[in-house]
Amino acid sequence: MTLTAVTDADFGTEVLAADRPVLVEFTADWCGPCRMLAPVLAEVAAEESTRLKVVQLDIDTNPETVSRYAVLSAPTLMLFRSGEPVKSMVGARPKRRLLQDLEEYLEPALTGH
């Protein structure tokens, strides 16, 4: 699964107006740790699709959003909820740790009862 790419132009609709929390990876083609993180984020996106949307934003081609959220390094992961950034993390991390870092911000999974 590849992650959805967002841009300065559609950041508002894709991230700020989303109906669930959105994890944005601020990434770049030249960033080694970003490439290491990509399969982890793809797994998280697939497994948590009911609770979380995961997207990528290229820091080199979207300076407006990068400067609005003061992103200084890649990869930066920023979690948005109801249009507001609620958590920011810098650097690659294993899936288990990423899920632990995000857990308190995600809605409980809906069960089929």
Catalytic residues: 31, 34
Residue in the structure block whose two tokens are 């944005």: 24
Run of H or E residues at 6: strand 4-6
| CA triple 98-104-57, angle to 5 deg | 50
Question: Got the DSSP string for 48-109?
Answer: TTTT-EEEEEETTT-HHHHHHTT--SSSEEEEEETTEEEEEEES---HHHHHHHHHTTSPPP
